[in-house]
Structure 1
Amino acid sequence: MTLFVSHSSQDKAAIQDLLKALRDARQHVWVDETLGGGDAWWRTILEEIRGCDVFVFALSNNSIASKPCQAELRYAEALRRPILPVQVGPVDSMRLTPLAETQVIDYRNPTVDSGIQLIEAVHELKDKLEPLPSPLPEEPPVPFAYLMRLGHTLADPELSARQQAELVSELKAGLREDGADPAARRDIARLLSKLRDRPDVTYQARNSIDALLKSVDEEPATAAAAPITVPGAPAEPESGAVTADGADAAPPHAPKVGKSHRPRARWVIAGGAGLAVLIAIVVVAVLLLRPKPGPAPVSLESILLSDAEINSITGTSNMAKTPDNQGKTFKDVSKAVDVSPRWCMGVLYPGADLTYEDSGEKQLDWAALEDSGGWVRAGEGNHHFVDQAVAAFSTRDQALDFVRRSANEWAACDGKTVTATYLDNGRAYTWVVENLTGHAPQITQMYRQQGNVASYACQRVLQAASAYVIDVKVCGDHITDQGSVIAAKMAVKVPKSAGPKF
């Protein structure tokens, strides 16, 4: 019989006891130990899964998070292969695994009993083997196939600025989605380095790549432990030190002539006077150098336009914010909607996590307005929709640089047909993106709903104002440049100081 062992590449050491136990029991084991990647590698794996008698899943946090492992498991289930989960590493919550209802053999610390249990389970499952279904289920796609495609693109002798921006955007999205996988993270870093080192790389692409590579290299920061002060007796003063209460600390080189207490008294008095002068100097310096109090920190919510202002600009009368459509951090858009191509997410959604995460923004506030009657997504029933957001950065340069980088990413979507599929109900909306217009500090882009006879469209506007970034989307059946008007009115409310106070 053939056993297929599915495991994470991070668990190679952890599965050695499992492999030895199976082989010692004269089981024929197939495990991916020498193959590389690509189509041929994946075809071989799928062929071995189809031919196995028992599918052994090496269960751990690593395999649960691994895209290849999960694809292998789903394919084995679709093929009706007997599944044997064997725990080889820590699992945060067994109830949340895809094998929660399947009996799991704990093989983290192998014993004679667990070895017997393992082999007995293999034989029991082998007896339950069913014929392959006919027709065969659809084969899962090659994991991280987009990395191979991008590698082929990078082999081209010439890449336009638009192609480079598209590559950077897709690798950034891949880093967010697949960065937890060590192999994918390494491949993404290699592709970024390969693009950065090209002779035709643009200045903008190089800057974006450097920022991404820095995030690849950095480990999660841990705060350094602060010194701990324990109340108690003061430390014994060094020889010659002046104590706070003028205690018996002998001055250096105390005179040997005259009464012993007189020189000590003079020393303490002189020391006290010197200390007083020093304190006075420090106090004066602090008062002189202390920065003048600046204006109170601005509330980001105060920069957002009111319902009345929005209705006036869009020519509507019943658009309003709702409690569910407001927030004070970037939106987890990537967890709610699948955008294809995914690097165009920032074009469709203001305040999106994929756009603002690791951007350097310090605060973000957003609010969406819609026609009365409850939440309806843009593109549904030609309803009017406005999404406004404002993000605070530490400096003007950071805000301006964010718009510059976004311009490259938006330009990569020029002329693209973009589909947004919502994960809660499977509804999909398809948009045709027009060309980017403008450059930092303000960029705009229109996109229209495909097949909509009412010419339903949305305008996106991104504008740097002082140390803030204004992020707007306005949708409807009569949209021209209302988004720019909204952004301009928001910019008027931005304080003209060097930046927000954090």
Structure 2
Amino acid sequence: MRRGRRRWATLGITAAATLAAGCGNAQESANSAALVPESALGDLLLSARDVQSMMNGAPLIPQPVDSGMDDNRNLLPNLNCLGVWHPGESAIYGGSDAGTWQAVRRQLLRAPGNDQWRSSVVQSVATYTSPDTARDFIAQSADRWAKCTNHTVNITLNDQRLPRWRSGDLDISPDHLRMPISRSAGAATSSCEHVISARANVVIDVLACAPGTLEVRQASQMADLIASHVPSAG
């Protein structure tokens, strides 16, 4: 009887170990399936029609989708404010070979003509190696953005001064940052909202600006809509 009990006990332990291993493999497969590949990034960007609708019908001309980061550190060397001022900056995200982001799709939509960028949207999505590394970027950005609240920036490009830029208070929630921004050039004023968030292994980065002094919330709405298209584990 004792030998039989030992044999059944051994079989039970083996079965439990096999079941645990199977569950672990299933979880790994589920997590891998939830990762967004580079090939799916372009589909996450909102259409020009969706963006215009969310911007209250403002006519916005979509520019070609860019597959690289931007680099404006020569205009704004203050890295704490650079990431607030403009989405998708290489000095903030780092190089794709540095083990951070893997791929990016970035697009500008702006009003026709020269309106000093008063009506514009920049949407950007970048994949990371894992959800944890995407969330780490949000945490790092929170530290930088916190050092650029209620800050005024004057930038000159080709001997011409760009609209004066002033940030507001930083709003932090889990995996989500929001900063209101105002731009002014003479009597012309525009209001902006910059939002970054993490969903699965994707960092979503949206800046929306509209003429006037009314608070802009469309960047949050766009970021949420993009996030709703990103699969998540569970």
Change (3 A) 1:425 1:299: farther
Compared CA separation, residues 479 and 314, structure 1 to 2 (3 A): farther
Counterparts of 2:161 and 2:217 in 1: how far apart (Å)?
Answer: 28
Partner SS for 2:101? coil
1:401-446 Cα offsets, whole Å, 9 max, x none, are: 1001101101101111112332x45433321111101233111001
2:106 paired residue among 348, 366, 370: 366
CA displacement, residues 359-395 of structure 1 (integer Å, 9 cap, x when unaligned): 700111100101134xx5xx71x63100000010111
Give the CA deviation at 1:452.
5.0
CA distance in 2, matches of 1:317, 1:449: 18
The code of the aligned residue for 1:344 comes to: C
CA-CA distance at 1:322 after TM superposition: 2.2
Q: Aligned to 1:345, which of 72, 82, 91?
A: 82
For the residue of structure 2 that corresponds to 1:456, the secondary structure is: strand
Identify the residue that residue 328 of structure 1 maps to in structure 2. 67
How far 1:343 sits from its partner (Å)? Answer: 2.9
Larger Rg: 1 or 2?
1
> Cα gap change, 1:395/1:372 in structure 2, threshold over 3 Å: closer, same or farther?
same
Letter in 1 for 2:118: H
The answer to whether the Cα contact below 8 Å between 1:463 and 1:471 also exists between their aligned partners in 2 is yes
| Structure 2 residue ranges without an equivalent (≥5) | 1-24
Q: Which residue of 1 aligns with 2:123?
A: 388
Residue correspondence of structure 1 range 259-338 to structure 2 within 5 A: 294=33, 297=37, 298-323=39-64, 326-334=65-73, 337-338=74-75
Contact 1:421 1:428 in 2 (8 A): yes
Q: 2:172 aligns with which of 426, 431, 438?
A: 438
Q: Give 2:229's aligned residue.
A: 493
State the match for 1:355 in structure 2: 92
Q: Return the offset for 1:449.
A: 1.7
Moved over 6 A (4+): 289-293
The match for 2:12 is: none
Whether 1:458 and 2:198 are equivalent positions in the alignment is no
Offset at residue 454 of structure 1 (A): 4.5
TM-score normalized with structure 2 length = 0.76
In 2: Cα distance, 1:386 partner to 1:425 partner? 25
Q: Higher strand proportion, which one?
A: 2
Higher relative contact order, structure no. (Cα contacts within 8 Å, ≥ 6 residues apart): 2
Distance 2:104 2:121 in 1: 17
User: Could you tell me whether the CA contact under 8 Å between 2:79 and 2:92 is conserved in 1?
Assistant: no
Assess, with a 3 A threshold, how the Cα gap between structure 1 residues 452 and 410 changes in structure 2: closer, same or farther. farther
CA contact (8 A) 2:170 2:178 kept: yes
Cα shift at 1:320: 2.3
Residue 159 of structure 2 corresponds to residue 420 of structure 1: no
One-letter code of the match for 1:429? P
CA contact (8 A) 1:403 1:440 kept: no
**Matched residue pairs, number?**
200
1:476 to 186, 192, 210: 210
